[in-house]
A and B are shown apart, each in its own frame.
Chain A
Amino acid sequence: QVQLVQSGAEVKKPGSSVKVSCKASGGTFSNNAISWVRQAPGQGLEWMGGIIPIYGVINYVQKFQGRVTFTTDESTSTAYMELRSLRSEDAAVYFCARGGVYCGSSSCYPAYYDGMDVWGQGTTVTVAS
Protein backbone atom coordinates (compact mmCIF):
# COMPACT_ATOMS: atom_id res chain seq x y z
CA GLN A 1 0.00 0.00 0.00
CA VAL A 2 1.50 3.30 -1.10
CA GLN A 3 2.10 5.92 1.57
CA LEU A 4 3.11 9.51 0.94
CA VAL A 5 5.73 10.83 3.37
CA GLN A 6 6.34 14.55 3.41
CA SER A 7 9.29 16.59 4.58
CA GLY A 8 9.35 18.29 7.96
CA ALA A 9 8.08 21.62 9.18
CA GLU A 10 9.65 24.79 7.83
CA VAL A 11 10.04 28.31 9.22
CA LYS A 12 10.63 30.90 6.54
CA LYS A 13 11.02 34.66 6.31
CA PRO A 14 8.71 36.76 4.13
CA GLY A 15 10.02 36.96 0.60
CA SER A 16 11.89 33.67 0.78
CA SER A 17 11.05 30.30 -0.79
CA VAL A 18 10.10 26.89 0.55
CA LYS A 19 10.36 23.50 -1.11
CA VAL A 20 8.27 20.64 0.26
CA SER A 21 8.89 17.03 -0.72
CA CYS A 22 6.44 14.15 -0.91
CA LYS A 23 7.95 10.66 -1.22
CA ALA A 24 5.97 7.59 -2.19
CA SER A 25 6.76 4.71 0.11
CA GLY A 26 5.76 1.17 -0.83
CA GLY A 27 5.20 2.01 -4.47
CA THR A 28 5.34 4.78 -7.02
CA PHE A 29 2.98 7.48 -8.21
CA SER A 30 4.14 7.87 -11.81
CA ASN A 31 0.79 6.52 -13.05
CA ASN A 32 -1.24 8.78 -10.76
CA ALA A 33 -2.10 12.46 -10.47
CA ILE A 34 -0.50 14.21 -7.51
CA SER A 35 -2.32 17.19 -6.06
CA TRP A 36 -0.99 19.83 -3.72
CA VAL A 37 -3.53 21.10 -1.22
CA ARG A 38 -3.00 23.64 1.52
CA GLN A 39 -4.90 24.48 4.68
CA ALA A 40 -4.41 27.75 6.52
CA PRO A 41 -4.91 27.65 10.29
CA GLY A 42 -8.57 27.05 11.09
CA GLN A 43 -9.51 27.22 7.43
CA GLY A 44 -10.64 24.86 4.69
CA LEU A 45 -8.79 22.94 2.03
CA GLU A 46 -7.44 24.82 -0.99
CA TRP A 47 -6.33 23.02 -4.16
CA MET A 48 -3.14 24.59 -5.48
CA GLY A 49 -2.81 22.40 -8.55
CA GLY A 50 -1.00 19.22 -9.38
CA ILE A 51 1.15 17.13 -11.64
CA ILE A 52 0.52 13.98 -13.67
CA PRO A 53 4.00 12.54 -14.30
CA ILE A 54 3.04 9.92 -16.90
CA TYR A 55 1.65 12.62 -19.18
CA GLY A 56 4.00 15.43 -18.19
CA VAL A 57 0.93 17.51 -17.31
CA ILE A 58 1.18 20.24 -14.70
CA ASN A 59 -1.77 22.34 -13.54
CA TYR A 60 -1.45 25.51 -11.47
CA VAL A 61 -4.35 27.37 -9.92
CA GLN A 62 -4.25 30.90 -11.29
CA LYS A 63 -3.90 32.36 -7.79
CA PHE A 64 -0.48 30.73 -7.45
CA GLN A 65 0.68 30.94 -11.06
CA GLY A 66 4.18 32.35 -11.28
CA ARG A 67 4.96 31.68 -7.62
CA VAL A 68 4.70 27.91 -7.42
CA THR A 69 6.45 25.07 -9.22
CA PHE A 70 5.58 21.37 -9.09
CA THR A 71 8.18 18.79 -10.06
CA THR A 72 8.80 15.09 -9.66
CA ASP A 73 11.87 12.87 -9.47
CA GLU A 74 10.70 9.49 -10.66
CA SER A 75 14.01 7.84 -9.76
CA THR A 76 13.17 8.44 -6.10
CA SER A 77 9.35 8.50 -6.42
CA THR A 78 9.33 12.00 -4.93
CA ALA A 79 7.18 14.99 -5.79
CA TYR A 80 8.14 18.54 -4.90
CA MET A 81 6.27 21.79 -4.40
CA GLU A 82 8.25 25.03 -4.35
CA LEU A 83 6.51 28.24 -3.34
CA ARG A 84 8.37 31.52 -3.76
CA SER A 85 7.98 35.08 -2.52
CA LEU A 86 6.38 33.85 0.68
CA ARG A 87 3.88 36.08 2.45
CA SER A 88 2.33 35.79 5.88
CA GLU A 89 -0.86 34.45 4.32
CA ASP A 90 1.07 31.48 2.92
CA ALA A 91 1.42 30.11 6.44
CA ALA A 92 -0.42 26.80 6.26
CA VAL A 93 -0.19 23.05 6.31
CA TYR A 94 0.67 21.79 2.84
CA PHE A 95 -0.50 18.34 1.78
CA CYS A 96 0.30 16.16 -1.20
CA ALA A 97 -2.40 13.72 -2.26
CA ARG A 98 -2.69 10.94 -4.84
CA GLY A 99 -5.61 11.08 -7.21
CA GLY A 100 -7.50 8.10 -8.47
CA VAL A 101 -7.84 6.64 -11.95
CA TYR A 102 -10.93 7.77 -13.80
CA CYS A 103 -12.46 5.36 -16.30
CA GLY A 104 -14.56 6.94 -19.00
CA SER A 105 -16.47 5.19 -21.73
CA SER A 106 -13.40 4.10 -23.65
CA SER A 107 -10.31 4.58 -21.51
CA CYS A 108 -8.92 5.06 -18.03
CA TYR A 109 -6.54 7.79 -16.98
CA PRO A 110 -5.14 9.37 -13.84
CA ALA A 111 -7.10 12.35 -12.58
CA TYR A 112 -6.99 14.80 -9.70
CA TYR A 113 -10.75 14.73 -9.34
CA ASP A 114 -11.47 11.02 -9.03
CA GLY A 115 -10.98 10.89 -5.26
CA MET A 116 -7.69 11.65 -3.55
CA ASP A 117 -7.22 8.35 -1.79
CA VAL A 118 -3.74 8.66 -0.30
CA TRP A 119 -2.53 11.76 1.52
CA GLY A 120 0.77 12.83 2.96
CA GLN A 121 0.88 13.70 6.64
CA GLY A 122 1.17 17.41 5.90
CA THR A 123 4.02 19.90 6.19
CA THR A 124 3.58 23.00 8.33
CA VAL A 125 5.05 26.13 6.80
CA THR A 126 5.41 29.11 9.11
CA VAL A 127 6.15 32.53 7.61
CA ALA A 128 7.55 34.99 10.12
CA SER A 129 10.11 37.73 10.21
Chain B
Amino acid sequence: QPALTQPASVSGSPGQSITISCTGTSSDVGGYNLVSWYQQHPGKAPKLMIFEVTKRPSGVSDRFSGSKSGDTASLTISGLQAEDEANYFCCSCAGSGTVVFGGGTKLTVL
Protein backbone atom coordinates (compact mmCIF):
# COMPACT_ATOMS: atom_id res chain seq x y z
CA GLN B 1 0.00 0.00 0.00
CA PRO B 2 1.72 3.20 -1.16
CA ALA B 3 2.13 5.81 1.53
CA LEU B 4 0.89 8.65 -0.69
CA THR B 5 -2.47 8.53 -2.48
CA GLN B 6 -2.78 9.48 -6.12
CA PRO B 7 -5.67 8.99 -8.54
CA ALA B 8 -5.12 5.91 -10.68
CA SER B 9 -5.75 7.80 -13.89
CA VAL B 10 -6.47 11.21 -15.36
CA SER B 11 -7.05 12.28 -18.91
CA GLY B 12 -7.23 15.42 -20.99
CA SER B 13 -7.26 16.63 -24.56
CA PRO B 14 -4.33 18.32 -26.26
CA GLY B 15 -4.03 21.92 -25.18
CA GLN B 16 -6.01 21.43 -21.98
CA SER B 17 -4.70 21.51 -18.43
CA ILE B 18 -4.84 18.68 -15.93
CA THR B 19 -3.97 18.38 -12.26
CA ILE B 20 -2.77 15.29 -10.42
CA SER B 21 -3.17 15.20 -6.66
CA CYS B 22 -0.98 13.49 -4.10
CA THR B 23 -2.36 13.13 -0.60
CA GLY B 24 -0.30 12.21 2.42
CA THR B 25 -0.24 13.16 6.07
CA SER B 26 1.37 15.70 8.35
CA SER B 27 4.28 13.25 8.67
CA ASP B 28 5.20 13.52 5.03
CA VAL B 29 3.59 15.86 2.47
CA GLY B 30 2.14 18.20 5.08
CA GLY B 31 5.26 18.31 7.20
CA TYR B 32 7.87 19.28 4.63
CA ASN B 33 8.17 21.40 1.50
CA LEU B 34 10.01 18.48 -0.04
CA VAL B 35 7.65 16.99 -2.60
CA SER B 36 8.95 15.91 -5.97
CA TRP B 37 7.25 14.61 -9.08
CA TYR B 38 8.49 12.08 -11.63
CA GLN B 39 7.38 11.28 -15.16
CA GLN B 40 7.86 7.73 -16.37
CA HIS B 41 7.25 6.47 -19.88
CA PRO B 42 6.77 2.70 -20.30
CA GLY B 43 10.03 0.79 -20.08
CA LYS B 44 12.02 3.88 -19.12
CA ALA B 45 13.55 5.23 -15.95
CA PRO B 46 11.66 7.97 -14.10
CA LYS B 47 12.50 11.59 -14.90
CA LEU B 48 12.48 14.37 -12.30
CA MET B 49 9.93 17.05 -13.22
CA ILE B 50 9.43 19.02 -9.98
CA PHE B 51 11.34 19.17 -6.69
CA GLU B 52 10.84 21.09 -3.45
CA VAL B 53 7.12 21.36 -4.31
CA THR B 54 7.44 24.06 -6.98
CA LYS B 55 10.94 24.02 -8.51
CA ARG B 56 11.65 22.78 -12.02
CA PRO B 57 15.00 21.26 -12.97
CA SER B 58 16.78 22.81 -15.89
CA GLY B 59 15.30 21.57 -19.15
CA VAL B 60 11.83 20.77 -17.85
CA SER B 61 9.07 22.64 -19.64
CA ASP B 62 7.35 25.46 -17.74
CA ARG B 63 4.07 23.76 -18.67
CA PHE B 64 4.74 21.65 -15.57
CA SER B 65 4.09 23.26 -12.20
CA GLY B 66 3.71 22.09 -8.64
CA SER B 67 1.90 23.29 -5.55
CA LYS B 68 0.89 22.16 -2.10
CA SER B 69 -1.92 22.83 0.34
CA GLY B 70 -1.89 21.08 3.68
CA ASP B 71 -1.34 17.37 3.24
CA THR B 72 -2.01 17.42 -0.51
CA ALA B 73 0.45 18.26 -3.25
CA SER B 74 -0.51 18.78 -6.87
CA LEU B 75 1.13 18.61 -10.26
CA THR B 76 -0.44 20.70 -13.02
CA ILE B 77 0.36 20.23 -16.68
CA SER B 78 -0.88 22.97 -18.94
CA GLY B 79 -1.12 22.92 -22.74
CA LEU B 80 -1.23 19.12 -22.79
CA GLN B 81 0.80 17.49 -25.51
CA ALA B 82 0.83 13.93 -26.78
CA GLU B 83 4.28 13.32 -25.33
CA ASP B 84 3.00 14.10 -21.84
CA GLU B 85 1.16 10.77 -21.85
CA ALA B 86 3.00 8.78 -19.16
CA ASN B 87 2.81 7.66 -15.56
CA TYR B 88 3.44 10.29 -12.89
CA PHE B 89 4.64 9.61 -9.37
CA CYS B 90 4.83 11.94 -6.42
CA CYS B 91 7.44 11.55 -3.70
CA SER B 92 7.83 13.20 -0.32
CA CYS B 93 10.26 13.42 2.51
CA ALA B 94 8.86 11.30 5.33
CA GLY B 95 11.14 12.31 8.17
CA SER B 96 14.51 10.98 9.34
CA GLY B 97 15.86 11.55 5.86
CA THR B 98 13.59 8.97 4.27
CA VAL B 99 11.19 9.23 1.33
CA VAL B 100 7.90 7.71 0.27
CA PHE B 101 6.29 7.47 -3.16
CA GLY B 102 2.73 7.70 -4.33
CA GLY B 103 1.09 4.85 -6.19
CA GLY B 104 1.30 6.62 -9.52
CA THR B 105 -1.18 8.19 -11.94
CA LYS B 106 -1.56 7.22 -15.58
CA LEU B 107 -2.10 10.29 -17.75
CA THR B 108 -3.88 9.70 -21.01
CA VAL B 109 -3.89 12.41 -23.68
CA LEU B 110 -7.10 11.91 -25.63
Q: A44-B2, A44-B89, A121-B45 are in contact. Are A116 and B101 (CB under 8 A)?
A: no
Contact B46 A113 (CB under 8 A): no
Bound complex: CA of A102 vs CA of B35, how far in Å? 12
**In-complex Cβ contact of B101 among A44, A59, A120, A121 (8 A):** A44
Contact A57 B97 (CB under 8 A): yes
Q: Is B51 an interface residue (CB 8 A)?
A: yes
Contact A44 B45 (CB under 8 A): no
Q: A45-B89, A47-B98, A61-B98 are in contact. Are A116 and B2 (CB under 8 A)?
A: no
Bound complex: CA of A55 vs CA of B92, how far in Å? 22
Measured as residues with beta carbon below 8 angstroms from the partner, the interface class of chain B is: 20 to 34
Contact B99 A35 (CB under 8 A): yes
Contact B46 A45 (CB under 8 A): yes
Bound complex: CA of A100 vs CA of B36, how far in Å? 11
Measured as residues with beta carbon below 8 angstroms from the partner, the interface class of chain A is: 20 to 34
> Which chain B residues border A116 with CB–CB below 8 Å?
36, 38, 46, 48, 91
Nearest CB of chain B from residue A24's CB, rounded to whole Å: 15
> Which chain B residues border A44 with CB–CB below 8 Å?
2, 89, 101-104
Q: Is A10 an interface residue (CB 8 A)?
A: no
Most A CB within 10 A of own CB, among B51, B99, B100 = B99
A-binding residues in B (CB < 8 A): 2, 32, 34, 36, 38, 40, 45-48, 50-52, 55, 57, 89, 91-93, 96-104
Given contacts A45-B38, A114-B36, A119-B47, 20 further A-B pairs with CB under 8 A are A44-B2, A44-B89, A44-B104, A45-B46, A45-B89, A45-B104, A47-B99, A47-B101, A57-B97, A59-B96, A95-B45, A112-B98, A113-B91, A113-B92, A113-B93, A113-B99, A114-B34, A115-B55, A116-B48, A120-B45
